[in-house]
Every structure is written in structure tokens, then in C-alpha cells.
Structure 1
């Protein structure tokens, strides 16, 4: 699989067909029917077109295209009409049109490109998740509060183990780590609170200052729990020993079981295993969120842990984040680009782990939103 840039699509320019002239012969006399012409209605005629100024040469394109198409059809197990014998480039256009329709999927968005590289023409398919851009922020304050109540500590331990998997194994960013986007934003909020100390109402200042201190406190507390040696590896034992009583605990147990299933199914995968590179940055720059900040919204910026979604800082935090993201031209997402130049194995959903992780994060956020 290779990341490649697509050539300009091959599209003929249609021209108006000549109008048929009316018949000048006399109407024939009625009689027995001659040879039937019903078959005319069953024939397929190619439309008229003009060759574009940058039309690729047939000798350099046609053979490579249909060889690549053959590899693609086997990869996706597709049955298609044979277009090879149609006039060029109409045969490629018709094949591309049907291929676009056949590649449509309810859960995946696929883009089709014709790419020419090193004098060879191949078909390339870019596949991503059918998900709208969203902020996937998991609040840790609810779990911190549960740790302070003896009757809820077993549930708190279970959910913290889920957090530990997402943080350490799946690679989600944590707002108390200094090299993260959210650490930077919380620092800005803390500076704003102190800068407005003299002009703000004393009660407002104290509430905001307390929220900043609480965000730091709960973040450090939960992080210390997550990082305890061997803690995340006890998730299966915690699941076996947990006895759900309330609806909240039942949902928590279901989330923990799903987490364990994902971990066992994809033991080496992270959320960023197939992260796209929207601006084609070098690897070094793509890993630097300060650089990416000026180009696209990184997955490590809109997915991760925050202190709370309901405290007095939340409105300012999310308004600041949204204003920042609205200035970015694109965003990073799980993405697979497959170039069909050589024989490939049967299609397998390589984005399944990322899709399930995002669904897991959504379930966690919904759990805390409905928490009594």
C-alpha cells in the first residue's frame, strides 16, 4: 500500500449530437411486416465525445488500467461488466463509473483515483470511516468522584482500567501530559484566570481558580492510578469480579467487556495506526502538534482526555478549541490508501479497530453524560 497523488481524472467532453433529418420519401404502403427491428432497442451505443487537451495516450494507459482493474476486482470480489473492447477512453470512463458504484459501502467512504507513477498507470482507492468530525473528549472528573465514595470504588477501578487501556495501549492524549494540545489549552485558561483577577468579580475568580486547581488535581490522581504497575493488565480480572447492581454499573461493565474484546482482537493496534497525513507533511513535522496546529486538526487534538465537560472552565475551553479548529483547512482521520499495481490478498477491514475505538469513546462519553 502506498500513498500516491492522483492524476487529473480522464473525462471526455460531450458535444451536441447532430439532429436527425426528417425522411423525404413517401409513406410506404401497408403490408406484411419485413425483418423485425425490435433488436434495435436492445443495443448499447457509445456517446459522442471530444478528446481532451491532456488526454493520456492510449498505449500508455489502457493496458495498465485494465490490469489494475483486474487486481482490484479480485481484491474486493467484484463482478463487473467487461468494458475493455469499447472505444478508448470511453471504456475506462464506463469501468470507473461502475467501479465507483460497486465500491460504495455503508460504513466506509471510498474515493477512486487513477494514478500514473514511474510511467505506470494504476487504480488507487482511498478508504476512510463514515464519521462526521466530532470532539471525542473523555472527562475524568466523574471517575475521580467515584474513587472518593467507598461504595463506588469497584466501579471506579473498572473504568480507570478502561481509561488505562485507551491512554497507554490505544494512545489517546491526556491533558496532564505537557506535550499535548489540551495541556497547552488548560495553561492558557489558567493564565486568563490570573490575568483577569483584578477586574473579575471575586466570587467568579475563586470559582475559576478552584476549577483550574481541581482539573490539575483530578488529572494527576487518575493518571497515577492508570500508570500503576500491572493495573491495566488486570482488566479481565476486574471484569470477572465485578457485580453490577445499578443501571450505571451495568453499562460500565458492558463498556469494560467491549474494551477487553477490542484489546484482545487488536493487541498491537493504536488509534493512530492508519492516521492520515492531510497536508503531506514529513513524518517529523506530522508528529509535532505545534506544527500541525497551523495546517490541520490532528487526531491527538480532537480525541483524548479532559478534566470535565461541565465545570466553569468548560465553556471557555470548548469555545477556544472550536475557534481554533475552525481556522484549520482539514483534519486528520483513520485512512487507508491502496494502490492496485501488484496482486493483493482479499480485502480485510483494516480500519475496524479505529472504528470500534471511536465507538467505545462515544459510549464512555454518553455514560458520564447520563450519570446520575
Structure 2
């Protein structure tokens, strides 16, 4: 994966991982992780209408053809197709109202081609008009047929690792005292409300990754490089423990708005601090108590096979593995951490991401969306960029 790092999981993309750049990223760039291996995503290519040029000499070749009907056990095997059609078009109507789209008339084509045509049109419209749309499915639940839709925020296989040591270095600069206090409130918001894991907490993924790197260094022969690496590791632990006490202080949240109102930007760095802080407090106000894992899709629910579900979960990169506070985003320690995380996560076949699944079966459809996820991930990217400057 890459740092603030990327898996390409768009609507039309397979889960094959692309190779991360071999050269070390610049300080101001967000680095990305190698992508996952092939086989974790569905093929989402859809049939397209085919037509030739209008001036073709053969009249037959000037025709446009409707999408080819594929075999479908659920539809073809249902004898009570009249009831099926009724449920289908009722669910289609509910889905269209929810997403504000206008389905193409299809009922005149007769069963089951009318449904295939309607689904094809629906997929095209959702793909073009809905930002986070991933897929739709037609579900047969006992005697009822209805649509479900999946909306997914694409994290692009990025490592969202927020460095803490730059904040510590900032605290030692007298001219940036106000900027430090303001960013301390931002870190506290991400720590307490957004619930981002902290690398000095034993339950976090990075705690064990750092511990593993330290053990490896301890087992190596004592050389100047290994001793320097161990010293860097111990220093990262000390700074992490020290800064966690400051970030944990709830007064940072209580004084957040006041610090923002009194802050006056004196240079370019101050200006970027102010922008990040404004974004954070807007999220704090508009999405109270929303944490980054609120829509995490834990594992696949596509199958009724418990063993297969367990296997899917074990083969998945969790959000807690690619979102975290870290020690620093540069230096030998981070280079080793980045390589180790890269090597481990690229072995997984799936990636946990924020997902919303909506059921159009006659019940009330939730009006929730992934707007918070868009804004919080943008904030984290901007914060990483900012702290990598210091």
C-alpha cells in the first residue's frame, strides 16, 4: 500500500494490486501501499449497446441492439412471474425515487427480457449519477423480489498514517505555539471522536508492527546501524507516550473553538494549519460522535456458507490496519515500517472500506450517505501533508 497509500477498487476495476513506486516519496507527498492481489473483486463490466455508423449500406447494420439477456436462475425459474414482475417494478420505483433517476420504460418487452433491460438501464444511470454507487443486486427473499444497492467509499488502498512526532517538534518552536495548540485540538478530535487508533496502544495494529521491528533489531548483531535503529525506536516510543497524554486531555476539545477564533495566521504554514483546523471543527459540529469506522464493512455477506464468510474475513485488510496515528513519516524507522506493512497487506485479497447497503423491499430506506467519510479522509490527507512539512 502507499502512505496517506493506494488499492484501486473502482466500479470497473479488479482488485489486482498495482506496484508502489520503488523510490522513496518526497516529504510533502503522501505515500501509497502496493495493491492487493487479483481475485478480490467482482467483474463489473456491463453489456453495452452496439450500433454501426448510420451510413452503412446494409439496413440491418444500421440497427442498435438491446443488451443480451443472460441466464438467471432466480428469474427464469420463477413460475409466478406476474407477482415477481409486480415486486420487481415496485422495488425499482422505490429505488428510482431514492436516487432521483428516471427508469427507461421496459414493461412492453415482456418477461423476462423487460427485467434484464430495466436492470441494464438502472446500472448505467446509477454509475453516471451516483458518486459512491458500487452495485445493485436483485434479491429473492422467500416469495418476494427486491433490489439492494451498495454504496462504497473507495479508499484507494492508501495508508492513512498520521505522524505524531512532527507535532512534538512543533511544540518546541516558540513562534508556532498557537499553531501547536490548534493542531493539538485537531489531533484530540481525531483521537477521541473519530476514534483513530494510536500506535502506542496495544490493541492497535501499528503497536505490534513497531514491536516486531524492535525485536528484529534486537536479534541482529550489534552494529552502528542497528544501534541507531534501536535508539530511533525507543525515541519514537517515548515521544508517543508523551504526546498521547497531551492529545488525550479533553480540554483540547473544550477549547477547540476558542483557539480557532483567536488564531491569526502569520505565514504560509499557519495558514495551512488554520485551514485544517476549520475543516476539523466543521466535522466536529456537523457530524457529532461520528467515528471513521461507523460504516466499516467487516466481511462479505454474499454467501450463506459460514466457513466461506470466515475465510473472507481472514483474507481482508481491516480499516484499523491502514488508518492510524504513527510515530513519524520519515526516517529509517518509518521506511522499515512502510516496507513491513506493504509486504503483509499485499498478501490479502479484500479490503474493508466504508459501505452502506440499502434494501428496497417496501420498508423505510435510510437516508444516510458517505459524506462524512469523504470529508474525514480528505482532512486526514491534508493533515498528513501538513505535518510532513515540519
Q: Please give the range of the TM-score, normalised by the shorter of the 2 chains.
A: 0.7 to 0.9
Match of 1:266 among 266, 278, 287: 287
Residue of structure 1 equivalent to 2:136: 112
Contact 1:207/1:312, CA 8 A, preserved across alignment? no
Q: Does 1:357 align with 2:376?
A: yes
Matches within 5 A, 1:229-240: 229-240=250-261
Q: What's the TM-score, normalizing by structure 2?
A: 0.76
The whole-number CA distance in structure 1 between the counterparts of 2:111 and 2:153 is 34
Residue of structure 2 equivalent to 1:20: none
Q: 1:106 to 1:60 in 2, by over 3 A?
A: closer
Say which one has the larger Rg: 1
Listed one character per residue, the Cα deviations across residues 119-152 of structure 1 (whole Å, up to 9, x for unaligned) are 2111110001244111110101111011122222
Residue of structure 2 equivalent to 1:165: 189
Matches within 5 A, 1:95-134: 95-104=118-127, 105=129, 107-134=131-158
Match of 2:356 among 305, 318, 336: 336
Q: Once structures 1 and 2 are overlaid, which stretch shifts more, 169-178 or 58-67?
A: 58-67
Residue of structure 2 equivalent to 1:214: 235
Q: Does 1:176 align with 2:200?
A: yes
Question: What's the CA shift for 1:73?
Answer: 1.3
Matches within 5 A, 1:228-307: 228-280=249-301, 294-307=314-327
What's the Cα RMSD here? 3.0
Residue aligned with 2:314, SS: coil
Q: Which runs of 5+ in 1 are unaligned?
A: 1-8, 13-37, 282-290
The whole-number CA distance in structure 2 between the counterparts of 1:265 and 1:254 is 17
Residue of structure 2 equivalent to 1:18: none
Contact 1:75/1:344, CA 8 A, preserved across alignment? no
Contact 1:279/1:295, CA 8 A, preserved across alignment? no
Q: What's the TM-score, normalizing by structure 1?
A: 0.80
Listed one character per residue, the Cα deviations across residues 89-122 of structure 1 (whole Å, up to 9, x for unaligned) are 1100111111111112463132011111132111
Aligned length: 324
Residue aligned with 2:151, SS: strand
The whole-number CA distance in structure 2 between the counterparts of 1:143 and 1:222 is 8
The whole-number CA distance in structure 1 between the counterparts of 2:166 and 2:326 is 11
Residue aligned with 2:356, SS: strand
The whole-number CA distance in structure 1 between the counterparts of 2:251 and 2:73 is 65
Contact 1:292/1:298, CA 8 A, preserved across alignment? no
Residue of structure 1 equivalent to 2:91: 68
Q: Does 1:224 align with 2:248?
A: no
Deviation beyond 4 Å, 4+ runs, structure 1: 40-54
Q: Once structures 1 and 2 are overlaid, which stretch shifts more, 139-148 or 50-59?
A: 50-59
Residue aligned with 1:78, SS: coil
The whole-number CA distance in structure 1 between the counterparts of 2:174 and 2:91 is 63
